[in-house]
Amino acid sequence: MTFSTLTDILIPSFENTSFIRLILSSPQDKTGDLNKVTVRLIELKDEKKLSFLYTYKTKTVTKNHRIEEGAKLADKLFAETFTLCVIFGTEADHSFRRTKKSKILYKKSKPTHSEEDFSAVHNMKKKRMITLENNIWLQRLGVAKNGMVTGGMSGKFRQINRFVETIDGLIDSSDLKGKPELSVYDMGSGKGYLTFAVYDFFVNQLKIKADITGIEYRRDLADICNDIACECKFTGLKFLQGSISDFDIPACDILIALHACDTATDDALFNGIRSGAEVIVVSPCCHKQIRKQLHIENELREITRHGILEERMAEMTTDSLRALMLEAHGYSVNVFEYISDEHTHKNIMITAVKQKKTADSSVYLEKIGGLKKFFGIRKFYLEELFNNS
């Protein structure tokens, strides 16, 4: 087979619906921040587009392009940024590799994935969106009215849909994919925006049975959310009054804790790991426990002389320790900016997907010990929870 660019293979695969996904990896610049780009076909507002997921060392970014524009961009990225490209299809896989002498090696092989495995992709996986029309819970929570986003709530609506996209991607990358029923606990559910969104998405988009429980300390909010769930006939959604630290959850598939203050995030992580959750999603708020202990006896003490920088140092240190603890318990972890800080400054998200291969926990626990020593930290609350359990 002869070809001049990736588009010679991409465009026909779009036309005959054999395209599954494209992965660009092995960057030419090993010191750069961009590690990989994954390209999928989606349908957005009744138009077919290519969705590019850029995976950086510290974040992920999604950008959508029209078909021809996206195909040219993929070709350009391979030519200028990456040395390896694989196009997965139902009929065949196509791999391209650039050698050190800039020679392109091409190989066509049998398809890695069957059409049955990716039937949803072949039928044009739609962009997951929470609909505005006739959506009772969005109206009752003040997000929408008469099928339109309420003034001042556009940021909240974007946040809701971004979260749904995040959950969708995590399920796809975990053992939960294809499971007909999912159990979820949302620790510190607040007004329930995202709790309702996840239930709506699971039941009305994914068409699976969902058992979702929101835990909220303020009884008035729990009661309001239960009334709305009843009005929406969301029979698998309920809200319980209680604190995160006092609530022991049973086995569950997904654990969520967004903006739980200080060590409440650690209590949620402890609950999620102990319950065997396949997916854990937290967005930490406040980092007082570690900040109070910072005692740096090296050059970094010049940073912590300034209050705002000390606060950010405490945030980074705390969340690094949390990520290591999750890895020690067999999770693949990603820490990234969830949404832009124009809507909320609490925009760091930690996601964890349970891996089949058991991790060597001693490696990560040793790293935790090293960080504690470096920053003069005596106690790490999440570590203490496991030590005392």
Give the dihedral sign, CA 242/244/247/252.
positive
Structural domain boundaries in the chain: 7-122, 129-242, 287-389
Rounded to an integer, what is the distance from CA 108 to the centroid of its chain? 32
User: How far is the CA of 222 from the CAs of 191, 195, 226, in angstroms?
Assistant: 8, 12, 6
pTM (two decimals): 0.70
Chunked in runs of 10, what are the mean pLDDT values of the chain (389 residues)? 66 80 91 90 78 84 88 92 91 89 88 58 53 90 89 87 90 91 96 96 92 96 97 96 89 94 92 95 88 83 83 89 95 80 63 86 93 91 91
- Dihedral sign of CA atoms 132, 137, 139, 144 in order: negative
Q: For 218-302, where are the alpha helices, taking DSSP H only?
A: 219-231, 263-274, 288-291
For the chain, the distance separating the N- and C-terminal CA atoms, rounded to the nearest angstrom, is 61
**Predicted local distance difference test score (pLDDT) of residue 2:** 43
**Site of tokens 């999620």:** 272
Is residue 119 within 8 Å of 105, Cβ to Cβ?
no
CATH class of residue range 129-242: alpha beta
* Model pLDDT, residue 46: 67
